[in-house]
A and B are shown apart, each in its own frame.
Chain A
Amino acid sequence: MSIAPVQERQADAADVADPAVPWITLVWNDPVNLMSYVTYVFQTYFNYPRAKAEKLMMDVHTLGKAVVAHGTREEMERDAMAMQGYGLWATFEKDS
C-alpha cells in the first residue's frame, strides 16, 4: 500500500458531500501533537488551504475530533494510514 501523490488529493476534497462514498476519516485530539504540526499535515497531505487546515485542526483541538476526509472505504483506509504515518490519532468508519 502506498500514499497517493498530493496532486491526486485535490479531486477527493470535492467528494465531501457525495452520499455515494459514505466513509470518513477522523482525527482525534491528543495531548502530544502540536497545533502547528497538525495544521501542516492537513495542508501537506490533503492539500487543503491554510484556512481549512486550521479550522479542522481547531475542531480536533476543541471538539476532540474532526472529520478530515470523505470517500470510499478504500480511500479512507489509505487516508487513515497516511495520518497514522504522520503520528496523528486517525480512524476511519462508515459515515452515519
Chain B
Amino acid sequence: MARAFRRKGELYAARLDPQELGLVVGLLEQTRELLAPEVAATGDAFTDLIASLGPDFGRSSDAPDVAVARDPALDRLLPDAHRSDPAIAAEFRRLTEHDLRRRKSDTITAAIDALRQVEGDKVRLTKADADSLLVALTDTRLLIGERLGLRDESDVDALDERISAHPEHPLAFAAAVYDFLTWLQDSLAGALMGRRLFDL
C-alpha cells in the first residue's frame, strides 16, 4: 500500500509496493519512448554532435514539414511556443525540440534508474533524484492526460461523469492510474517545498 512522499533528513521517502513501483516505472518508460529524440546518442563525439543538431538541421524554417506521423501527445508535451506567429513557433521548435526531447528523456532515465534501486517498498530519493522524478511524473501525467482527453478544466469534470456512469470502462482504470500519479507527484512536490501538503 502506497504511502506519500515526505522529507526524511536529506532524503525524500515514500512507500510503494512492487506492483505500484512497477506501474510507475513502466509508465515512465512509455513516456520516455515517446519523447526520446529519434536519433539516440551513440557515445561517439562526432556522431553525437551531428545528431544533436537535430533532424531538421539545415532545413530552412519555412520549408514544409516532412509528412511523418507525429503523435499528438508530443504537441502537448512540446507545445508551440508562440501563439500568434507560426513562423516564430516553427523556428523555436526547430532550434529547441531535439534538445528538449533529449533533456526530458535523460530526466526520465534518471528517475527510472533511481526507482530501480529500490529494495522492498521503501523509496528513498536524494534531492537530485526527487527533482528528476518530479519532472518525469509531469511528462507522464501530461501524456496520460492527453490520452484521457484532458485539455481544459471542463474535460476533468466530463471525464469524472463518464467514469461514474461507466465504472467498468477501461477509461476508469486509466483515470485511476492518473489519479495515483497525481497524488504521488503532489506529495513529492509538497515534500520538496518543505511541507507535507499543499492546500489553497
Chain B, 150-182, CB within 8 A of any chain A CB = 150-153, 155-156, 182
Asked if A35 CB lies within 8 Å of chain B CBs, one says yes
Q: Is the CB of A85 within 8 A of B103?
A: yes
Q: Are A81 and B193 in contact (CB under 8 A)?
A: no
Q: Does chain B have a CB within 8 A of A58?
A: yes
Would you call A92 and B104 a contact (CB within 8 A)? no
Taken together as a complex, chains A and B put the C-alpha atoms of A96 and B131 apart, in Å, by 35
A86 and B138 in contact, given A32-B150, A77-B92 (Cβ under 8 angstroms): yes
> Are the CB atoms of A90 and B81 closer together than 8 Å?
yes
Is A7's beta carbon under 8 Å from chain B? no
Contact A1 B135 (CB under 8 A): no
Residue of B nearest to A3 (CB): B103
A33 CA / B135 CA spacing, docked (Å): 11
Taking the nearest CB of chain A, how far is it from the CB of B190, in angstroms? Answer: 6
- Say which residue of A1, A33, A39, A89 sits within 8 Å of B79 (CB atoms): A89
| Segment touching A, from B9-17, B38-46, B94-102, B114-122 | B94-102
A34 to B103, CA, bound (A): 21
- Measured CB to CB, the closest approach of chain B to A35, in angstroms, equals 6
> B27 on the interface (CB 8 Å rule)?
no
Interface pair B138/A37, CB less than 8 Å apart = yes
- Contact B189–A37 (Cβ < 8 Å): yes
A31, A43, A44, A89: the one within 8 Å of B153 (CB): A31
Distance A44 CA – B153 CA, assembled complex (angstroms): 26
Min CB distance A94 to B, Å, is 9
Q: Is the CB of B100 within 8 A of A81?
A: yes
A72 on the B face (CB < 8 A): no
Which chain B positions have C-beta within 8 A of A58?
200
For A1, give the chain B residue with the smallest CB separation: B99
Whether, in the assembled complex, A66 has its beta carbon less than 8 Å from a beta carbon of chain B, the answer is: no
What's the least CB distance linking B93 to chain A, in Å? 10
Q: Answer whether residue B59 sits at the interface, using C-beta atoms and an 8 A cutoff.
A: no
B186 within 8 A of A: yes
A-B contact pairs, 7 of them (CB 8 A): A32-B141, A32-B150, A34-B186, A84-B96, A86-B135, A86-B138, A92-B82
